[in-house]
Structure 1
Amino acid sequence: MITRTVSELIQGLNVLSLRGNPDRKITSVCFDSRKACHGSMFIAVRGTQTDGHHFISSAVDSKTSAVVCETLPGTFDEDVTYVCVNDSTSALAHIAAAFYGNPAESINIIGVTGTNGKTTIATLLYRLFRFYGIKAGLISTVRNYVDSKMFDSTHTTPDPVQLHKLFSKMKENGCRYCFMEVSSHAVMQKRIEGINFTGAVFTNLTHDHLDYHKTFENYLEAKKKFFDTLPEGAFAIVNNDDRSAGKMVADTRASKYTYGVNSAADYKAKVLECHIYGTLISINGKEVWSKLIGEFNVLNFLAVYATAVQLGLDEQKVLTLMSELNTVEGRFENYTSGGGITAIVDYAHTPDALANVLKTIASFQSRNRILTVVGAGGNRDRTKRPEMARISAQWSDKLILTSDNPRNEEPEDIIAEMKKGLDDEGMRKTLVITDRVEAIKTAVMLAEKGDIILIAGKGHESYQ
């Protein structure tokens, strides 16, 4: 069991005041009062939904040993040490790192950020390095890995306590590298504060998360902040085909590199052949076969190659191993039935991602039909819903609007907002089937030999 003292955990923080024993023993760190117990340090964080300061008394009632907060409570318990700081959200990240012995300092950590492509790039990097014979870890939307051991994932980027716990396991298991997704939420909520990244990758920036960031400019600034905080000696690799690439690295101290298909770049790819079963690519003049499908995946493949080369791996060996990499679960996974119907499952849940996937499918589909099953998540950016329906209808012969994790909203209300993006022609080709299972069954029944069914939005997720 890990044991630290209060003074060890708050070393380096901007402590405004301390009340109680600084040498009190701490055996766990939490920011959820329901997890507080004897030996724990409860950090009161001001969140988007709740304020941890309202639950200090609950934590004390549960016999927590220490409280870290921005505002001290009106009464004190003599068995509790109280630490007042100017920013408890920042303190949580540093305390979590200190509790686990600052494990991130022993690992080369590469962060991947952007609207689309994060999971594919981080996962393929993890697989590539393990194929190469190097121990590595993965932190992603789909699942987390410590070398070969899998851990469930609940967030794109975990909270600081879970994050540093994973880093600790990676260190214990001899992982030299960790490839992790970095969400805009994680940046703004300071989950990654204090981590010295070895490198960072920017994929693209499109319409998403405006429910949280309110404006596209705020969303961009959140992503940019990740690059602004990279240390000297780190590298930043950006997709030069994206208009936001230059802004991302405008103020970074890291060394800058670019990749692209349609623009000048340090790592340049050209699509030679594109098939439903893979893509032949030329990267800086070297041909390589990829099992990944579509131009958007060529960019993901290219980002993996560029990152591996920047980390010192042999270029030719990297290309050889990359040709064996399979698609990531729920990312353009395709299945063909005995009757000649192809189903593609993809996580696409933004207008841009849907357009990329559907354009790729359309490039293979000259005579037969595309049937799309899609919905939009509840309690998330509502402005993208009509655009998702419009794009889906534009590229599909038959569109089925359905439910996709409605959370606290009524599925029918979400679908009604999606339908606002459809014109008369779009409405004529659209069915509304709220039950997702029934929607998928209907698409299968409507499909004929040679048709392609796209099931979009959920990807790897098996829940509703």
Structure 2
Amino acid sequence: MVLLRDILTDVPLVRLSGTADVPVEEITADSRQVKPGTLFFAIRGLHADGHQFISQAVESGAVAVVCEDMPLQPSPHITYVQVSDSALACGLMASHFYGDPSKHMQVVGVTGTNGKTTVVTLLYQLFSRLGFRAGLISTVQNMIVDKTEPATHTTPDAILLHRLLARMHQQGCTHVFMEASSHAIHQKRIAGVHYTGGIFTNITHDHLDYHKTFENYLKAKKSFFDQLPASAFALTNIDDRNGKVMVQNTRAKIVTYALRKKADFKARIIENHLTGLQLEIDQQLVHTRLIGAFNAYNLLAAYAAARLLGQEKQEVLRILSDLKGAEGRFDYLISPNQHIIAIVDYAHTPDALKNVLQTILGFKQSSQRIITVIGCGGDRDRSKRPEMALIATHFSDQVIFTSDNPRSEDPQAIIEEMKNGLSASMLAKTLSIVDRKEAIRTACMLAQSNDIVLIAGKGHEKYQEIKGVKYPFDDKEVVKEMFALLGK
């Protein structure tokens, strides 16, 4: 329990109605979770406005309310904290409520379209191997030292985030590596987090269903670096055309990494095979288990961040050589008899799909065919659907269009949108199979000895969302099942 006064530090107030000395036992932005002693945040969201639930929160025992607009009939027994931005206030106050945990740890945020999960996972594994107690906040999972917790969002809401950081601090974590999604940045879900550093991976076409324009999407990512303190580092990929734009207004120390351009941290690909990458990093040869040019950037970002966090070069490179990537990122299996290679990857943006297919082309033999299984998510950015289909058909010998997470949309309609704009010759090498399991089965049956089957879009996900229901589904498990049948 804390006093309201104690968690109002640094919060820009419009006005305070009532006493700031009221004791606060819990905080929430969900009126259904309010109980006596709770501070309620009225936040305007995408689908609901928390201001509509202030009276319900008060009836349930809220002792104070943070809001942008005062109620027409405020309760005389309640303290109202009027602010210009409830979401921002929520992040700042949640941090204070949980004891400002991020101030006591070195927290590094990673943002960008692709690579976020892999970079934070590499850093978490690296620092754990270096002997530190580390925390991970990612799309795939959250980790508190060696304890796994399920992840429901790339970045949790502000209250859950600071609560999670507090638990990490309580468990002795010294370093935390977290993804910072564009949604979370825009919605102020990371407000109140004290970052030691930020990393920019790249930015390409994604989330325009939410941000509407690429410019808005870029601004959301850039605002993460705009808010970093002068004490932090801003590590940016300057091979990306927006790498310098991201950090042009930051107060943080700007540090660059690249494969092609001159940079503070530099790497070069020596060899790229299915067995892994051989890189030259800072003039040192290192063999890694990860595959593809995109992973060369991810490895370099992790290496540079570790060096900026004070770790020794040789030890970092030694451990990096033995690390594996995040689940569902270029996961591959080989059938025992036909030696068919199946690759499961989360690629769900045009750029990510292109990266994966170009990586496969880089090591495939002329006799091997590429069969790609691909879909697009429902209720998401529709403009990328034909682009995804075009990339898949351009780089593959055979393409099977199928369901991803159709959500509320008709999966067949999504497939038809994907096929829009494909030429007759491209359409001739495609199949449409709505049932994802059947699509994967068909791809495995079509594959001949040593062919490569890419199953893209869902990666680590263990479900398929259809009409508001999440059904159990795991691409990798389906592949294992099909390979077992082929082996009989």
2:324 maps to 326
Note the C-alpha offset of 1:12.
Answer: 3.0
Secondary structure in 2 matching 1:144: strand
Q: Distance in 2 between matches of 1:325 and 1:102?
A: 32
1:247 maps to 245
Of 283, 299, 316 in structure 1, the residue corresponding to residue 297 of structure 2 is: 299
- The alignment-based identity, stated in percent, is 53
CA-based RMSD of the aligned residues comes to 1.3
Q: Distance in 1 between matches of 2:262 and 2:28?
A: 47
Note the C-alpha offset of 1:63.
Answer: 2.2
2:93–2:192 Cα contact (<8 Å) kept = no
Q: What does residue range 307-386 of structure 1 map to in structure 2 within 5 Å?
A: 307-339=305-337, 340-365=339-364, 366-386=366-386
Q: What does residue range 50-199 of structure 1 map to in structure 2 within 5 Å?
A: 50-199=48-197
1:37–1:65 Cα contact (<8 Å) kept = no
Note the C-alpha offset of 1:21.
Answer: 4.0
TM-score by length of 2: 0.92
**1:459 corresponds to which letter in structure 2?**
G
**Residue deviations 1:154-206, cap 9 Å, x none?**
11111110110111011111111111111111111111223231111110010
- Quickly say closer, same or farther: Cα 1:421–1:38, change in 2 above 3 A: farther
1:23 maps to 21
Indicate the larger mover: 313-322 or 222-231: 222-231
1:422 maps to 422
2:94–2:192 Cα contact (<8 Å) kept = no
**1:341 corresponds to which letter in structure 2?**
I
Of 203, 216, 219 in structure 1, the residue corresponding to residue 217 of structure 2 is: 219
Q: Distance in 2 between matches of 1:114 and 1:86?
A: 28
1:115–1:204 Cα contact (<8 Å) kept = yes
Q: Distance in 2 between matches of 1:439 and 1:42?
A: 47
2:409 maps to 409
Of 255, 258, 278 in structure 2, the residue corresponding to residue 257 of structure 1 is: 255
**Residue deviations 1:401-455, cap 9 Å, x none?**
1111112222122111111142112111111111111111111111111011111
Indicate the larger mover: 155-164 or 187-196: 187-196
Secondary structure in 1 matching 2:463: coil
2:483 maps to none
Q: Is 1:272 paired with 2:270?
A: yes
Indicate the larger mover: 374-383 or 345-354: 374-383
Secondary structure in 2 matching 1:65: strand
1:461 maps to 461
- How many equivalent residue pairs? 462
Q: Distance in 1 between matches of 2:238 and 2:67?
A: 43
Note the C-alpha offset of 1:8.
Answer: 2.0
**Residue deviations 1:58-104, cap 9 Å, x none?**
22232222211111112233543222222111111011111101111
1:138–1:144 Cα contact (<8 Å) kept = yes
**Residue deviations 1:106-130, cap 9 Å, x none?**
0111111100000000010000000
Q: Distance in 1 between matches of 2:5 and 2:282?
A: 53
Secondary structure in 2 matching 1:306: helix
Provide structure 2 residue ranges, at least 5 long, that are not aligned to the other structure: 465-488
2:436 maps to 436
1:389–1:421 Cα contact (<8 Å) kept = no
**1:179 corresponds to which letter in structure 2?**
F
1:113–1:202 Cα contact (<8 Å) kept = yes
**1:154 corresponds to which letter in structure 2?**
T
Indicate the larger mover: 116-125 or 74-83: 74-83
Note the C-alpha offset of 1:371.
Answer: 0.7
**2:405 corresponds to which letter in structure 1?**
N
**2:40 corresponds to which letter in structure 1?**
F
